């Protein structure tokens, strides 16, 4: 069946800098029949600016938030300026028209079997995990007993997207590289210190962050039986599985981050 609306126009409602180089963009997507109805945490969109020739390719951004609004949807994206593309996007003003393709990819596998959910976010990796949290709030029925969030950033003033976490989670543990708030060190170390206190059978970990962090986490969990799903990043061209550009090495060869992921079992990926 044909979803003409999988490639949609969105209008920028707001696009604010909420911390140094970190922006929150709200987009209004007008059609109610759009594919956004079924968006799930961990999924992403490909974003481009209408009528501009640069950036040429869309930029993948995780869905940070989504809710119905006046016969359409508001999609929120939380992003960090790291290069030219995100810089151009950060300069856009309200009312600018965007192309937004999505939701794309396989999001987090949310099983109701785990009573304890552990979220581990590195930097801007908070975006999809915050949406996951929101998801738990909405379907109150299936809400796990305990949700613990670990969030690591370089400096305390780069902590973004924690509001919802703080409302929803049983605990939010912070780490900073420079010690300016919370644990002084890597978020993976902070988590590692607590690891033994979690029941491996009842717990599930969802993580997103720089690949060095995820690799570190894979090391920590190597001989552990706890489930862990990670959202990984790779450069993308198509976002739909057609170009094979976003390859990630898994035990069986390569998989496509955009289509087979971006969420994978941490033990499936070959971290090199």
Ligand X SMILES: Cc1cc2nc3c(=O)[nH]c(=O)nc-3n(C[C@H](O)[C@H](O)[C@H](O)COP(=O)(O)O)c2cc1C
Q: Which of 137, 201, 222, 235 binds another protein (CB under 8 A)?
A: 235
Q: Is 34 helix (H, G, I), strand (E, B) or coil?
A: coil
The residues pairing with 101 across neighbouring beta strands, listed in sequence order, are 7, 46
Of 203, 212, 205, which Cα lies nearest the Cα of 232? 212
Residue 48, interface with another protein (CB under 8 A)? yes
Q: Which of 5, 13, 30, 80 binds ligand FAD (CB under 6 A)?
A: 80
Q: Which of 57, 81, 162, 250 binds another protein (CB under 8 A)?
A: 57
How far apart are alpha carbons 9 and 14 in whole angstroms?
15
Instruction: Report DSSP state, residue 112.
Output: T
How far apart are alpha carbons 186 and 175 in whole angstroms?
6
Binding segment for another protein (CB under 8 A), chosen from 8-16, 19-27, 216-224, 243-251, is 243-251
How far apart are alpha carbons 191 and 202 in whole angstroms?
17
Radius of gyration of the chain (CA): 18
Judged by beta carbon distances under 5 to 8 A according to partner kind, the member of another protein, ligand FAD, ligand X, none in contact with residue 62 is ligand FAD
Residues in the chain: 272
Residue 212, interface with another protein (CB under 8 A)? no
Q: With respect to ligand FAD, which residue has the nearer C-beta, 43 or 203? A: 43
Q: What's the token pair of residue 200?
A: 């491996």
Q: How far is the CB of 244 from another protein (least distance, A)?
A: 5
Residue 240, interface with ligand X (CB under 6 A)? no
How far apart are alpha carbons 87 and 265 in whole angstroms?
32
Residue 51, interface with its own copies (CB under 8 A)? yes
Q: Site residues (CB under 8 A) for its own copies?
A: 51-54, 88, 91
Q: Site residues (CB under 6 A) for ligand FAD?
A: 44, 55, 59-62, 78-80, 82-86, 124, 127, 233-236, 257, 262
Q: Site residues (CB under 6 A) for ligand X?
A: 243, 245
């Amino acid at each position: 069946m044909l979803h003409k609306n999988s490639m949609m126009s969105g209008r920028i409602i707001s696009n604010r800098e909420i911390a140094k180089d970190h922006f929150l963009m709200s987009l209004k997507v007008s059609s109610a029949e759009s594919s956004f109805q079924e968006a799930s945490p961990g999924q992403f969109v490909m974003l481009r600016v209408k009528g501009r020739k640069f950036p040429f390719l869309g930029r993948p951004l995780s869905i940070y938030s989504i809710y119905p609004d006046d016969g359409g949807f508001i999609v929120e994206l939380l992003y960090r300026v790291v290069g030219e593309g995100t810089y151009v996007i950060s300069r856009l003003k309200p009312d600018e028209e965007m192309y937004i393709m999505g939701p794309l990819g396989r999001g987090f596998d949310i099983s109701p079997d785990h009573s304890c959910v552990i979220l581990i976010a590195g930097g801007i990796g908070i975006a999809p995990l915050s949406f996951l949290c929101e998801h738990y709030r909405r379907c109150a029925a299936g809400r796990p007993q305990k949700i613990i969030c670990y969030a690591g950033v370089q400096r305390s003033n780069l902590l973004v997207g924690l509001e919802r976490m703080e409302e929803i989670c049983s605990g939010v543990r912070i780490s900073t590289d420079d010690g300016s708030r919370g644990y002084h060190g890597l978020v993976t170390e902070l988590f590692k210190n607590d690891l033994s206190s979690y029941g491996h059978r009842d717990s599930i970990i969802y993580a997103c962050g720089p690949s060095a962090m995820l690799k570190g986490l894979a090391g920590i969990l190597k001989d552990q039986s706890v489930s862990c799903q990670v959202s990984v990043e790779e450069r993308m061209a198509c976002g739909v599985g057609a170009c094979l550009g976003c390859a990630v090495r898994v035990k069986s060869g390569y998989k496509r981050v955009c289509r087979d992921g971006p969420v994978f079992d941490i033990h499936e990926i070959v971290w090199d």
